[in-house]
Amino acid sequence: MIILGIETSCDETSAAVVADGTQVLSNVVASQADLHARWGGVVPEVASRKHVERLLPVIFEALESANLSLRAVEGIAVTNRPGLIGALLIGVTAAKALAYGWKLPLVGVHHLEGHLYSNFLAAPDLAFPFICLLVSGGHTEIVLVESHEQRRSLGRTRDDAAGECFDKCARLMGLPYPGGPHIDRLAASGDPQRIAFPRAWLGDSFDFSFSGLKTAALRFLETDGGRTPQEDVAASFQAAAVEPLVRKTIRAAQTTGVRSVAVAGGVAANRGLAQAMRQACEEAGLRLVIPPPSLCTDNAAMIAAAGAPRLLRGESDPLSLDSFASEPVG
């Protein structure tokens, strides 16, 4: 089944063509990051206006690079929750118009479910059950994925998301938005033990907390006055952010008796996290799946993959499909 995926929940305008929910035929992403960088974060109204300008060209580019015409599309999957409401509405309206005009089934997809399904694009043989660490700009959560229909949240952040913490720390260091990739780059040549930033363990809970780390970074940078090399600050910060993510994910797999671990969301592109997770999974004898960076950050291929199970079962949403700014993943 040829599925057209559409994603406009934040500042990436994306369209993709995916076959049978696992094979990416094209995945076009027009990022607005440069546009929003001057404000240090996404400006919702600006994001919506850019989506209006870019969405149709991006959809046609996705079809063209898949060597297909709209006639070949058999279903449409669109992110309809959660996200910036104005931004979501652009993608959902376009998806409805195409579905109506071409008489195609349409399904609304939860953005985080999209991140989760990026793992099936990276590893089509990934079997249930598995533990997924969802780490993105707005979410940090450990999910036990039991089947396409059933999943259970084991823990989540009690304050900042990991990606948000990366971005805030980067901003304090004077790095451009979004800061996560810059911290990653600097950390590669820094000393992770130079500064003992705090790790929040929260007892036996699978919850996370990153606000203490953010405050510790702020205090350190205020008193340090730029004496410590940025590489060492980045490496020490990254180590403190990554350690609870890895340890709790492994413990979640061991506690539930699950043999496979997956990582998804923008922060899954972090090389420090990937390296630490790889080592921990090897030691614990667990299978690890981490999608390539292009499938970790926001993209429409993961939305098509997440919509595929329902479309393949012959299900669809009505054209009255609504958009929602927030909704928990469960």
The one-letter amino acid code at 164 reads: E
Kindly tell me which residue out of 209, 298, 310, 323 binds Mg ion, with binding defined by CB under 5 A.
298
Neighbouring C-alpha atoms within 13 Å toward the C-beta of 272: 27
The one-letter amino acid code at 284 reads: A
Restricting to residues 140-169, name those near ligand ATP by CB under 6 A: 163, 166-167
Q: Rounded to the nearest whole angstrom, what is the least distance from the CB of residue 265 to Mg ion in the complex?
A: 6
List, as one string, the DSSP characters of 268-304.
GG-HHHHHHHHHHHHHHT-EEE---HHHHSS-HHHHH
Q: Rounded to the nearest whole angstrom, what is the least distance from the CB of residue 115 to Mg ion in the complex?
A: 6
Q: How many chain residues are in contact with ligand ATP, going by CB under 6 A?
A: 22
The one-letter amino acid code at 176 reads: P
Kindly tell me which residue out of 27, 80, 157, 270 binds ligand ATP, with binding defined by CB under 6 A.
270
Restricting to residues 29-88, name those near ligand ATP by CB under 6 A: none
| Element holding 219 (H helix, E strand) | helix 211-224
Q: List Cα–Cα distances, 56 to 16, 80, 228, 302, in angstroms.
A: 12, 17, 47, 19
Q: Rounded to the nearest whole angstrom, what is the least distance from the CB of residue 258 to ligand ATP in the complex?
A: 23
Q: Residue for token digits 């993959």?
A: 305
Kindly tell me which residue out of 297, 306, 310, 329 binds ligand ATP, with binding defined by CB under 6 A.
297
Q: Rounded to the nearest whole angstrom, what is the least distance from the CB of residue 203 to ligand ATP in the complex?
A: 25
Kindly tell me which residue out of 18, 63, 221, 267 binds ligand ATP, with binding defined by CB under 6 A.
267
Kindly tell me which residue out of 75, 91, 180, 291 binds ligand ATP, with binding defined by CB under 6 A.
180
79 forms part of the interface with Mg ion (CB under 5 A): no
| Binding-site partner at residue 269 among Mg ion, ligand ATP, none, CB < 5 to 8 Å by type | ligand ATP
| Binding-site partner at residue 206 among Mg ion, ligand ATP, none, CB < 5 to 8 Å by type | none
List, as one string, the DSSP characters of 7-58.
E-SSSEEEEEEEETTTEEEEEEEEE-HHHHHTTTS--HHHHHHHHHHHHHHH
Kindly tell me which residue out of 265, 301, 304, 306 binds ligand ATP, with binding defined by CB under 6 A.
265
User: How far is the C-alpha of 279 from the C-alpha of 270, rounded, in Å?
Assistant: 14
Local structure of residue 124 (DSSP, 8 states): T
Picking from 95, 148, 46, 150, the residue whose alpha carbon sits closest to that of residue 300 is 95
DSSP lists the bridge partners of residue 140 as 135
Instruction: Give the 3-state secondary structure of residue 274.
Output: helix
| Binding-site partner at residue 114 among Mg ion, ligand ATP, none, CB < 5 to 8 Å by type | none
With respect to Mg ion, which residue has the nearer C-beta, 113 or 298?
Answer: 298
Summarize as ranges the residues that interact with Mg ion (CB under 5 A): 136, 298
Summarize as ranges the residues that interact with ligand ATP (CB under 6 A): 10, 111, 115, 136-139, 163, 166-167, 178-181, 184, 265-267, 269-270, 297-298
